[in-house]
Chains A and B, each alone.
Chain A
């Protein structure tokens, strides 16, 4: 059911190839199921010591004194390091990285000291004995939309304008026949990859090796090296296996710097793992949001105006402004539109990227509001979205290179059995539960950035492809093997793809759903060049092997002539206990249009994984700020609930054929994040349909349903 919206192209049609598009098992699968795959903390160089950090226990203030006497007297303690004796770092661009450089405390939980000892047990005990005396200052940790210090950031992540406006939104709202005007909120949420951030830091003279749990080895090297006054070539970052990241390992944060600093001061290789509890302060999180959405439409549900205002927080020391309202700029047609972002700096940890930053909370609000408009107009919510489908990108006017939202909605409605749906809320019971269904749209932009790769032919007929990409569980190693196999016209068994090491050719970070597009382009270009060279030599490989390299800076830097986004439709069925308000997601179906799917097995896992995180966001996840003491209170898995196996029943993801020749050599859009976008709205819309109660504040807790 191909429904390409693009004009015919002169590029040669890509025939179905043997490996791209096939369900290859993960190439490192056996290593992972036998416990052989090695993660950062599992490197144990000779003479290693253990570092355990100490966190600030006040939300704002100055460190007066640090008493390390009791700590350093413990047997086996090598060093206790704080701002008074820490090695000096060059001032970083991101102030979070200036660890142990001053007496200022910007948020509760910030690292203020670190202890290094011979064993983990000794280091923990010593860290406990370290005494820190603070001059406490009054703190402010509460996000409010009417906070007097709200301001308009210059840009929102990564480089979008904070505000946009088209037409006359206020006049259009005044004239609209139907208006939805509601406030939605999403709480702070923490990424919580299963592997806590960890680093093993080894100095050798002026050389530094970091075994690090990161989404980007090249970027850790480039960020850490100048802090220690080193050229990037002196730092090597190794991360062959990474236990998830979801954005929290996307940029180097304080723990990796602390490990390097501790190892330098102690004169020993040092292992440092962030604890699960510490992760709630020092490894980033999704900002809480307060969002006002105003929709104006005619009685048929055709939008004349959309206004989306987002309010968010960041820390005192770093501005991170999430792009919460950006999907509203391109989702639906409306001649009048305004989107704004306002930020307040509080005495809180610095928020950062968490799976689809911006789209995830933003689409919860927009897609909930769309559902409210559907109810207000008496129009089916699938039909309402179809009616507001734009011909071109509403903001830029550029044509979409492919946009198959309508196809996703139609296919999802067919598979889900949407046609039989009675829109009346709160009237269906099954097995004692109130049941209902909901739908929401999903989207994620297409990004691609430059990377480099080398491809090498060996005399024995094997190939190796090298690129400093990262597999955080996405299947990157596997899909790059498939992509290389097709370009080299060789079977995957003959190809070894080496990733996860900054000594390999520079690659972009595993983030923004752009890994396959960015790295894949470099791999294709390197393999094409190698194939050409081999053809020129009549297939002869010299004894020493044959290697070529590629750099995609020019290709990727070309100006875009299209608006490019992936789309999807999420359908949810929920059951709500009418007495307790307990909500269970009975069914989730995602239908996606994301270009060519390189590996249906790992792609399905990515989509389902995103949807599962979206289910978790809808029902459970909420980091609760302690106003009195200024900390995220529920900072462990006992109190910050993520979906467990029993919460996840019938979740399925499918996709439609989408042939888009304007993307990259693979014809693929990113799929790592779109799965979470829209899921929470679909669940909340289903809860409304089940119960008649509209929950506009996530998560959908019992107390929000029992009245």
Chain B
């Protein structure tokens, strides 16, 4: 290809349209935010750049690392793959909203005690993911390593946060289950061993 000309960028002669915006009501950590968003905007960018909630992190922006994990109606989602325009009137919880009135969430305390992070950048995603994961397991949702997949509600039937799951239906979370269920959240510092220990303590 020596000497060839090479041009990149799309050939767009018509002028590009203006951004499309939508007004909606975002509910984040029990606060209501009337917000106008660009329809191209992801929840992650809305949280970080518009609402000043920088707890959720951008590690890849492609749903591959889990650093942006937040809870929407109690289920863990990757906020970098979620368009904000789809979230009118949904309950969003970020790492900033995990603590209760009486102090940090037990997982937050356990993460500190077990040194389940180093740089801390994946940590908000790990924590939101762990909260969602514990609820999924309590609701009996199986994982790829669950030996008996007979019991529990399926992910399509209701959410695990409802509190109406009968006791005894939960999955016992051994190390294999926790590792499998937490594998959507990458940690480059290599804190996995301590993350599993921290979650185990809270799961008991």
A243 CB contacts on chain B under 8 angstroms: 57, 119-122
- Give 22 pairs: A residue, B residue, CB < 8 Å, sorted on A: A25-B112, A34-B96, A34-B104, A35-B95, A75-B19, A129-B10, A131-B7, A133-B7, A134-B5, A193-B119, A194-B65, A194-B122, A195-B59, A244-B118, A246-B188, A276-B65, A602-B118, A609-B118, A612-B193, A643-B192, A645-B178, A645-B185
Whether A35 pairs with B58 at a CB distance below 8 angstroms is no
Whether B108 pairs with A33 at a CB distance below 8 angstroms is yes
B59 CB contacts on chain A under 8 angstroms: 194-196, 276
Query: Measured between alpha carbons, how far is A473 from B187 in the docked complex, in Å?
Result: 12
**Considering the complex, which residues of chain B in the window 81-100 have a beta carbon less than 8 Å from any beta carbon of chain A?**
94-96, 98-99
Is B158 in contact with chain A by the CB < 8 A criterion?
no
A442 CB contacts on chain B under 8 angstroms: none
Whether A135 pairs with B38 at a CB distance below 8 angstroms is no
| Min CB–CB distance B56 → chain A (angstroms) | 8
Give the segment of A36-44, A286-294, A484-492, A498-506 that binds chain B. Answer: A36-44
Is A433 in contact with chain B by the CB < 8 A criterion?
no
Query: Measured between alpha carbons, how far is A638 from B63 in the docked complex, in Å?
Result: 9
| Min CB–CB distance B119 → chain A (angstroms) | 3
B113 CB contacts on chain A under 8 angstroms: 25
Query: Measured between alpha carbons, how far is A474 from B59 in the docked complex, in Å?
Result: 19
Map CB proximity to B onto A98-137 as digits: 1 under 8 Å, 0 otherwise: 0000000000000000000001111001001111111111
| One of A32, A61, A636 near B6 (C-beta < 8 A) | A61
* B residues adjacent to A (C-beta < 8 A): 1-10, 12, 15-16, 18-19, 38, 40-41, 45, 48-49, 52-62, 64-65, 67, 94-96, 98-99, 104, 108, 111-113, 115, 117-124, 127, 175, 178-180, 182-196
Query: Measured between alpha carbons, how far is A128 from B8 in the docked complex, in Å?
Result: 9
A638 CB contacts on chain B under 8 angstroms: 62, 64
Give the segment of A229-237, A260-268, A320-328, A646-654 that binds chain B. Answer: A646-654
B41 CB contacts on chain A under 8 angstroms: 121
B187 CB contacts on chain A under 8 angstroms: 194, 645
A35 CB contacts on chain B under 8 angstroms: 53-56, 94-96, 124
**Considering the complex, which residues of chain A in the window 571-625 have a beta carbon less than 8 Å from any beta carbon of chain B?**
601-602, 604-606, 608-613, 616
Is A540 in contact with chain B by the CB < 8 A criterion?
no
Query: Measured between alpha carbons, how far is A616 from B12 in the docked complex, in Å?
Result: 43
Most buried by B among A36, A67, A133, A473: A473
B54's nearest neighbour on chain A, judged by CB, is A42
Query: Measured between alpha carbons, how far is A221 from B119 in the docked complex, in Å?
Result: 22
B13's nearest neighbour on chain A, judged by CB, is A70
Whether A58 pairs with B179 at a CB distance below 8 angstroms is no
A460 CB contacts on chain B under 8 angstroms: none
Whether A605 pairs with B191 at a CB distance below 8 angstroms is yes
Closest 7 CB pairs of A and B: A35-B55, A243-B121, A612-B190, A473-B119, A473-B118, A32-B120, A609-B190
B45's nearest neighbour on chain A, judged by CB, is A120
A337 CB contacts on chain B under 8 angstroms: none
Whether B115 pairs with A194 at a CB distance below 8 angstroms is no
| One of A76, A125, A133, A616 near B5 (C-beta < 8 A) | A133
Whether B2 pairs with A137 at a CB distance below 8 angstroms is yes
Whether B186 pairs with A132 at a CB distance below 8 angstroms is no
B64 CB contacts on chain A under 8 angstroms: 276, 636-638
Given the contacts A30-B104, A131-B9, A138-B2, A119 and B38 also touching, CB distance less than 8 Å: yes
A44 CB contacts on chain B under 8 angstroms: 49, 52
A394 CB contacts on chain B under 8 angstroms: none
Query: Measured between alpha carbons, how far is A132 from B120 in the docked complex, in Å?
Result: 39
A130's nearest neighbour on chain B, judged by CB, is B9
Whether A34 pairs with B186 at a CB distance below 8 angstroms is no
B97's nearest neighbour on chain A, judged by CB, is A35
Whether A135 pairs with B188 at a CB distance below 8 angstroms is no
Whether A608 pairs with B190 at a CB distance below 8 angstroms is yes
B49 CB contacts on chain A under 8 angstroms: 44, 119-120
Whether A612 pairs with B118 at a CB distance below 8 angstroms is no
Map CB proximity to B onto A535-546 as digits: 1 under 8 Å, 0 otherwise: 000000000000
| One of A42, A125, A130, A194 near B48 (C-beta < 8 A) | A42
